[in-house]
Chain A
Amino acid sequence: MTGGLSATAARTEGSLATLRRGLRMMPEFRRGLPATFALALLATTGRVVVPISVQQVIDRGLGAPGGPDLDLVRTVVLLSAVVVVVTAVAVYRMNVRLFRTTETALANLRVRAFRHVHDLSMLHQQGERRGSLVSRVTSDVDQLSVFMQWGGVLGLVSVGQLLVATVVMAVYSWQLTLLVLVCFVPLAIAVRAFARRLVVVYGVVRTRVGDVLAAVAESVVGAPTVRAYGVRARTAARIDAAIARHYRAQVDAQKVTAAVFVSGEFVAALANAAVVVVGVLLGLAGDITAGTLVAFLFLVTLFVAPVQTASEVLNEAQNAVAGFRRVLDVLDTEPDVRDPAVATPDRARQLPDGPLGVRFEHVAFRYAPGARPALDGVDLTIEPRRRVAVVGETGSGKTTFAKLVTRLMDPTGGRVLLGSDAGGWVPLTDVAFASLRSRVVMVPQDGFLFDASVAENVRYGRPGMTDDEVAAAFDELGLRGWVEGLPAGVATPVGQRGESLSAGERQLVAVARAYVADPHLLVLDEATSAVDPATEQRLTRALDTLTAGRTTLTIAHRLSTAERADEVLVVDAGHVVQRGPHAELVDAEGPYARLHASWRRSSAGEPEPAGLTP
């Protein structure tokens, strides 16, 4: 496949760099951070104060030399209670802030990624399955929230807690503090390796989620085919395989996560044991007292707790990195067909007013490097106001031609220009999209309809039309009878992808949608292939009248279109091999005469001699 979303494989960026880049994309999140940190700090202090004061109450108040010191106990307990409540309030405030800022940031990220998908070229979009694309703006973004709402701040708070605990420990005994730190050195070193491994396994999980969604989407959209061919079991097996791969990826990730978590636990035990042994020896040497050592053992637990939290946070961070990468993959993919108004504003131009012509200068197009060119050496000018039919065998390059005219793709060789002799010619790559899309409209082969009413779908071509105007448009197109036959006229819902209409009816709506957009250059790519001949004739005759003075480019298998056109372009294996009015070509030696003869025979009802296939 061509296209595809950027290079996860080629990326060498570290996790931290990804996180930093990801967060840079979320100014809403960063802006709130200082205040959030202030609250977090308050919360941490509270979390440290409570166990210490409990310890103090027990040690000094209850274990006081002259019997329990009740006043002290009461004072400390009441103070602690206040601290607990203040801490809880601080945590609550912090949580609310975090939820608000992260969700705002994530919503904006979602929208940006969504927009970017639409800015990607058609081929890039096709490079990834839709289900998987959907996951990039839904569940991949969701992955980030846990880290941002919980992990990120907690991670930093843990570091703070670690520092506080270290300082307090050092006050008690610098030797033992050093010892504890030494115990944790191997863990600190291992963290980088852990992080790398984690981001890999989480990345696999995210990819597998995309695969599952793609498999499900395919089976849902292809449900009639699955049914008609009785391949339910096979389709189920494919989905189940995707689910199983996702499951295995999850379990693999869980193994690594658990390993990371317990290594912290193990080091903590080592530290405890070391403190006991060395503490006793130090005590015997007279360096510390028993009370100090006991207190120190308690402090070690305050040191260990944030380490454990941090390893949890590390997990979440890597999970978020994996999600970020899938979102950043979208945002990092440079749209290869870019709106010059955005890319190079100083070069962006408007199309000249009035009817538009098309000029191809040595145009070639390949779908993939090294592939056979789908179009090659095309050099021609279509004058404004012409009605041009493009004909040729299937696969000869007609749709490719149409996509180059409408700049859904850029040629791989040569260039395409639009304009007129009076207004001048503008290279398509310089035309601002706003100008291009309002003046040049194509009805693609499968005209997609949205799950809305007929009127809504037509309005898509010209927002703001009233239902009456939509009905009038159908009227102009000779389709009044059809609209009146619909259960609710133009208000009739068309269903998902327009599936509550027949295929031919969907095409009628798609043509109407393009017609109301009122383009100066209309490109129809087999736009009425499923419509019955009588309706088609009515529709095209109406269109001919309505678009008089405009330029139309029509690709059709039914050569009635070619018969009526001002000019016919014959495409064969990527080359424009013949060109001229129907009357000339039909008598000339060449592919058109053959195509036409075959079509005449078929539409006149003479069975085809079976041997005569190309």
Chain B
Amino acid sequence: MSRRRDAVVRRGLRHIGRAVREQPGMFTLALLASSLYGAMTVASAWVIGEVTDRVLLPSFDDGVTTASALTLAALAIIGVAVLKIVGILGRRLFAGVMSYRLQAEYRRRVTGQYLRLPLSWHQRHPTGQLLSNANSDVESAWFFVAPLPFACGALVMIAITSVALVLTDPLLAVVGLVVFPLVFVANIVYSQVMSPRMQRAQQLRAEVSEIAHESFDAGLVVKTLGREDGETARFAVRADELRDGLVAVGRVRGLFDPMMEALPNLGTLAVLLIGAGRVADGATDAGELVSVAYLFTLLALPIRAIGWVLADLPRALAGFDRVTPVLEATGETPHGPDAAAGTPGGAAVALRDVGFAFEGAEQATLHGVTFDVPAGRTVAVVGPTGSGKSTLAGLLVRLVDPTDGAVLLDGVDLRRLREGEVSGQAAFVAQSAFLFDDTVRDNVTLGGPYGDDDVWAALRVAAADGFVSALPDGLDTRVGERGASLSGGQRQRLALARAVVRRPRLLVLDDATSAVDPAVEARILDALRGSDTPTTVVVVAYRQATIALADEVVWLEDGRAVARGTHDELLARVPGYAALVRAYQQAEVPA
């Protein structure tokens, strides 16, 4: 138990060290400003004392005063105040900037990881939780930084005051300074009690955010099934748990704060009590006791400032502990040194004994898939729902890496290619089109070097030019989150145009034309394959017209490439294939 307790404090101190190391400049500036503030706080009390002794009392004693003396007094008071203000401004600004910079920096790092980590990692982590990591956890981790320089400055103040105390009356000083070990012990106990509560609170925050995100994401389903009450109840359960968690935190914090306030006060009173005895004994004189007592009242503020930092440490650690796994997560896709062949025209694709299992899945999704797509050719991948077509398509553009075997592009293993090579050569249109909350133009170019003419040409090929030109702002129309202001087919067409505009050497279409007229689909394929340097196309499809455009068909069943051949060959040879692609004609027979 005591080791763990110790650990919280040690880790807390290390965390403080981390903040200082990351922002040494700002910290130093804030510390200097805090020290100025601390010095001026002492100075202002001293100035009042001096003014009292040298101006005020003499004036009353003598019954006269001079204008210059009064002016000097006023200026001294105001001058010190101005310096103090400079200190406050500096402390607040620099400490604020330090804390905000740390927040921004860690948000960048965390979100950078989100972009770097593989899709399998994403599937394990709910979006709401990732939002909470990037937002409230990062904020919690660096919240304590705002009062940190103040507290460090306060240490200086404490040191100065302690020396002054010892010089004035060592015994009284010892009596008073007993306060510090007490403060320390109080903090250790506090950290120990607080840490688990804080961790739980941060965890619950993330869960509340998770439910909110999922539930809002599901808005349409919730509405169509009339489940608003159920969702609210689900959210309320977590919101109430979070409430209880925060109340539990509050109970400890609510005790710690007044204790930190009371301890210095009690210290002062103890000094007075014992000091009075010593004055009576003649061991010290009243004047000295007064200054000791006064110095002590000055200590109350820095001790509270230190209390603020210490009080926030458990929360900081709870937040940081939730951020750390994201920052330390590995599994970033490694890239090799090779460049793609880069010859004009289609890329040659080869799958060599490719196997794939999703993380944590008992059975593999793909087993020993081997086939070639020669440069410039078109291959259709056909198979029942859930047979592994999308998984296969994702492997071709290296959304995931195979568990076994290899995928080759122009003879080079995708894993050996440099970063950016695969996406530079290949374009992938997913089954459900994903659009960014951005303009039509940016959704097509994705920041690539394409002019408006290129964009319009691509839109024309994807038969999206008609509806885009009817949009209020044409290419500059924002499409809403995930393309909410477009119909499903319109989204799909923009996603197709995004692929077409790149003139890729390899185009992978994962059932991406389900809502697009066959004529449009034919035109897209024509545009890409019709040139002298035709694009290689792998298309996942169910429609016979699409399949008929392919040079070869791969029939996928339960993750195995069971058969290959032309459409007609497969129709003749593979009953499952015939049943699938002819389902509509057969349906008509009884009619």
Q: Nearest residue in A to B211 (C-beta to C-beta)?
A: A114
- When the two chains form their complex, are residues A54 and B272 in contact, meaning their CB atoms are under 8 A apart? yes
Q: Which of B55-63, B152-160, B341-349 contacts A (4 or more CB under 8 A)?
A: B55-63
Interface residues contributed by chain A, number (CB under 8 Å): 192
Given contacts A1-B480, A234-B447, contact A84 B77 (CB under 8 A): no
How far in angstroms is the closest Cβ of chain A from B392? 11
**In the complex, A613→B466 CA distance in Å?**
12
Q: Given A103-B250, A111-B236, check contact A433 B226 (CB 8 Å).
A: yes
Q: Are A395 and B385 in contact (CB under 8 A)?
A: no
| A-chain residues with CB within 8 Å of residue B515 when the two chains form the complex | 394, 526, 529, 557
B430 and A444 within 8 A (CB): no
Residues of A contacting B: mostly:
helix
Number of A-B contacts (CB under 8 A): 537
Given the interface pairs A68-B276, A231-B446, A283-B60, the reply to whether A118 lies near B84 with Cβ below 8 Å is: no
Residues of chain B lying within 8 A (CB to CB) of residue A280: 55-56, 59-60, 65, 70
CB distance A81 to B434 under 8 Å?
no
- For window 271-321 of A, CB contacts with B under 8 Å fall at 272-274, 276-277, 279-281, 283-284, 289-290, 293-294, 297
Q: Separation in Å of the A412 CB from the closest CB of chain B?
A: 16
A513 to B362, CA, bound (A): 26
Judge whether B583 and A537 touch: CB under 8 Å.
yes
Q: Which of A54, A510, A558, A604 contacts B293 (CB 8 A)?
A: A54
> How far is the CB of B135 from the nearest CB of chain A, in Å?
6
| Residues of the B chain whose Cβ atoms lie less than 8 Å from the Cβ of A447 | 221
> Contacts of B385 on A, CB cut-off 8 Å?
482, 502, 504-505, 508, 530-532, 535
Q: Are A503 and B390 in contact, CB atoms less than 8 angstroms apart?
A: yes
A96 to B253, CA, bound (A): 9
- Chain B residues within 8 Å of A443, by CB: 224
Q: CB-nearest residue of chain A relative to B121?
A: A223
Interface positions, chain A 69-115, Cβ under 8 Å from B, are 70, 73-74, 77-78, 80-81, 84-85, 87-89, 91-92, 94-96, 98-100, 103-104, 106-107, 110-111, 114-115
Q: Does A423 contact B (CB under 8 A)?
A: no
Q: How far is the CA of A346 from the CA of B5 in the complex (A)?
A: 63
Contact B262 A85 (CB under 8 A): yes
A379 at the interface (CB under 8 A from B): no
B123 within 8 A of partner (CB): yes
| Segment 233-285 of B: residues with Cβ below 8 Å from A | 235-236, 239-240, 242-243, 246-247, 249-251, 253-255, 257-259, 261-262, 265-266, 268-269, 272-273, 276-277, 279-280
Bitwise interface map of B from 156 to 179 toward A, beta carbon under 8 Å scored 1, else 0: 000000000000000000000000
Contacts of B446 in A (CB 8 A): 229, 231, 234
B93 and A610 contacting across the interface, CB-CB below 8 Å? no
State how many angstroms separate the Cβ of B34 from the closest Cβ of chain A.
13
B408: interface (CB < 8 Å):
no
Of A19-27, A158-166, A189-197, A262-270, the one with at least 4 CB within 8 A of chain B: A262-270
Smallest beta-carbon distance B582→chain A, Å: 8
Whether B199 is near chain A, meaning CB under 8 Å from some CB there, is no
* Chain A proximity of B113: nearest CB distance (Å): 11
Determine the distance from Cα of A139 to Cα of B131 in the docked complex, in whole angstroms. 11
The proximity string for B residues 557-591 relative to A, scoring 1 for CB distances below 8 Å and 0 otherwise, is 00000000001000000000001110111111001
Task: State whether B224 touches A503 (Cβ < 8 A).
Answer: no
Q: Are A258 and B397 in contact (CB under 8 A)?
A: no
Nearest-Cβ distance from residue A173 to partner chain B, whole angstroms: 14
B591 — nearest CB in chain A belongs to which residue?
Answer: A563
**Interface residue A244 (Cβ < 8 Å from any Cβ of B):** yes
Segment of B6-14, B98-106, B186-194 in the binding face: B98-106
Complex Cα spacing A560 to B582, Å = 12
Is the beta-carbon distance between B111 and A216 smaller than 8 angstroms?
Answer: yes
Contact A1/B514 with A100-B247, A371-B472 known, Cβ cut-off 8 Å: no
Complex interface: stretch among A29-37, A125-133, A355-363: A125-133
> Do A530 and B424 contact each other (CB < 8 Å), given the known contacts A277-B73, A537-B587, A610-B523?
no
Our pick among B81, B269, B276, B543 for the contact of A603 (Cβ within 8 Å) is B543
Residues of chain A contacted by B226 (CB below 8 angstroms): 433-434, 436-438
Contact B579 A444 (CB under 8 A): no
- Given A130-B481, A258-B88, A284-B64, A230 contacting B258 (CB threshold 8 A): no
Which listed residue, A51, A138, A394, touches B209 by the CB 8 Å rule?
A138
A240 on the B face (CB < 8 A): yes
CB proximity of B103 to chain A, nearest CB, Å: 7
Knowing A81-B269, A118-B231, A262-B88, say if A534 contacts B583 (CB, 8 Å): yes
Most A CB within 10 A of own CB, among B60, B63, B92, B547: B60
Q: Which listed residue, B77, B80, B584, touches A533 by the CB 8 Å rule? A: B584
Tell whether, in the assembled complex, residue A84 and residue B276 are in contact, meaning their CB atoms are under 8 Å apart.
no
**B135:A209 contact, CB within 8 angstroms:** yes
Residues of B within 8 A of A234 (CB): 446-447
Known: A96-B254, A107-B239, A603-B585. A254 touches B432 (CB 8 A): no
CB neighbours (8 Å) of A290 from chain B are: 56-57, 60-61
CA distance A406 to B247 in the complex (A): 43
A254 with B111: CB separation less than 8 A? no
Minimum C-beta distance from A602 to chain B (A): 3
- Complex: chain B residue closest to A150, CB-CB: B257
Verify if A499 is at the interface (C-beta below 8 Å from B).
yes
At the interface with chain A, which of B317-325, B367-375, B483-491? B483-491
CA distance A408 to B430 in the complex (A): 28
Residues of B within 8 A of A225 (CB): 430, 434
CB distance from A313 to the nearest CB of B (A): 16
Cα separation A607 to B567 with both chains bound (whole Å): 13
Could you say which residues of chain A place their CB within 8 Å of the CB of B486? 395
Q: Which residues does chain A contribute within 8 Å of B242, judged by CB atoms?
A: 107
Which B residues touch A433, using CB under 8 A? 226
In the complex, which residues of chain B have a beta carbon less than 8 angstroms from the beta carbon of A227? 119, 398-399, 423
Q: Which residue of A lies closest to B290 (CB)?
A: A58
User: Cβ of B583: which chain A residues have Cβ within 8 Å of it?
Assistant: 532-534, 536-537, 560
Question: When the two chains form their complex, are residues A533 and B580 in contact, meaning their CB atoms are under 8 A apart?
Answer: yes
B interface residues, tally (CB under 8 Å): 191
Q: How far is the CA of A510 from the CA of B224 in the complex (A)?
A: 12
Q: Across the interface, which residues of B come within 8 angstroms of A142, CB to CB?
A: 136, 205
Q: What are the residues of chain B within 8 A of A558 when measuring CB–CB?
A: 584
| B297 on the A face (CB < 8 A) | yes
Determine which of A231, A460, A485, A605 lies in contact with B227 in the assembled complex, contact meaning CB atoms within 8 Å: A460
For A45-65 the 0/1 string (1 means CB < 8 A from B) is 000001100100110011100
Residues of B within 8 A of A243 (CB): 104, 107-108, 111
**Interface check A329, CB cutoff 8 A:** no
A578 within 8 Å of B by Cβ?
Answer: no
- Name the B residues within 8 Å of A1 (CB-CB): 478, 480, 484-485
B451 within 8 A of A: no
User: Cβ of B511: which chain A residues have Cβ within 8 Å of it?
Assistant: 503, 530
Q: A225-B430, A240-B108 are in contact. Are A84 and B97 (CB under 8 A)?
A: no
Q: Are B384 and A532 in contact (CB under 8 A)?
A: yes
Contact between A220 and B127, CB atoms less than 8 A apart: yes
Looking across the interface, which residue of chain A has its beta carbon closest to that of B205? A138
Q: Residue A186 at the B interface, CB < 8 A?
A: no
What distance in Å separates the Cβ of B471 from its nearest Cβ neighbour in chain A?
9
Q: Is the CB of B447 within 8 A of A84?
A: no
Do A608 and B545 touch (CB < 8 A)? Answer: yes
Interface residues of B in 307-355 (CB under 8 A from A): none
Residues of A within 8 A of B55 (CB): 276, 280
Instruction: Judge if A347 is at the interface, Cβ distance under 8 Å.
Output: no
Establish whether residues A103 and B493, one from each chain, have CB atoms under 8 Å apart when the complex forms: no
- Residues in A with CB closer than 8 Å to B498 are 229
A-B contact pairs, 13 of them (CB 8 A): A54-B297, A92-B254, A117-B216, A145-B246, A214-B437, A229-B428, A231-B446, A273-B77, A297-B52, A482-B385, A496-B127, A505-B386, A598-B518
Given contacts A447-B221, A598-B517, 10 further A-B contacts (CB under 8 A): A68-B276, A115-B228, A213-B131, A231-B423, A258-B96, A276-B73, A277-B73, A293-B56, A605-B544, A607-B548
What 4 pairs between A and B have smallest CB-CB spacing?
A394-B489, A437-B226, A99-B250, A230-B423
